[in-house]
Structure 1
Amino acid sequence: MEYKGVSSIPGGDSFLGDKGPTDESLFVVVLPYVLLIILLPIGSFFMTKSFIFEDFLEYKDTTANVYAAICAVVILHILLALFIYKAFKESAVKGAKQD
């Protein structure tokens, strides 16, 4: 049984008529976020632990580790929220109907 509601549109691979993103374009868009999500929380952990909590506020090592970890987790959640926001924003633009 063939579905007759939507026919294939010439010039495209999907029924919407677009070919979709290429692997290269996805890699270029996602790579900066991946690097930020990996490097920024780790860097912020060591920077805040060393400079803010141990040197400036003079906390002990264990207390400084806990507060630095909290800072790293907050930064990670902010970066993930930005990534998800950008993904939804782009999908809404690409999914918009154009007549």
Structure 2
Amino acid sequence: MSSAKEMTELQAFKTVLYHSVIILALPVIAFFTSKVFLFDGIFGLSNVPSNVYSAGVAVIVLHIALGAFIYRAYFDDRSKTSTIKRD
């Protein structure tokens, strides 16, 4: 019983750690990628508008990552509780 509980806690920790890294890393990557390649490179915008639009892209990516985490936490938890057998 203890081993099963430890495995579930380890799986929950891995899931939270994975989503935490995604929530932290993806917006930063999206900001600099969109700034350098899209807004500075392709559109040729000046510094301030390029930063503002890149920040908007980062906010959108952050909301998508947070939504994925909430979706996973809500529906993954429900599917596990519905399949638990009662003794």
Which TM bucket (shorter chain)?
0.7 to 0.9
Given the two structures, how large is their TM-score scaled by the length of structure 2?
0.83
How far apart are 1:53 and its partner, in Å? 0.2
Unmatched 5+ stretches in structure 2: none
Match status 1:76 vs 2:76: no
Structure 1 runs not aligned, ≥5 long: 1-10, 13-17
1:91 and 1:32 map into 2 onto residues whose CA distance is: 16
Question: Post-superposition shift, 1:42?
Answer: 0.3
2:41 corresponds to 1:55: yes
Which digits, 9 at most, give the CA deviation of each residue in 1:47-99, with x for residues without a partner? 10111001110001000000000000000000100100001111111221646
Whether 1:43 and 2:4 are equivalent positions in the alignment is: no
Larger Rg: 1
Cα separation, 1, equivalents of 2:12 and 2:74: 14
Q: Tell me which protein shows more helix as a share of its residues.
A: 2
Letter in 2 for 1:84: I
Tell me how far apart the structure 1 counterparts of residues 49 and 60 of structure 2 sit (CA, whole Å): 17
Matched pairs, number: 83
- Once residues 26 and 80 of structure 2 are traced to their aligned partners in structure 1, the CA distance between those partners, rounded to angstroms, is 30
Q: Identity over aligned residues, as a percent?
A: 33
Poorly superposed stretches of 4+, deviation over 4 Å: none
Counterpart of 1:85?
Answer: 71
Residue of structure 2 equivalent to 1:32: 18
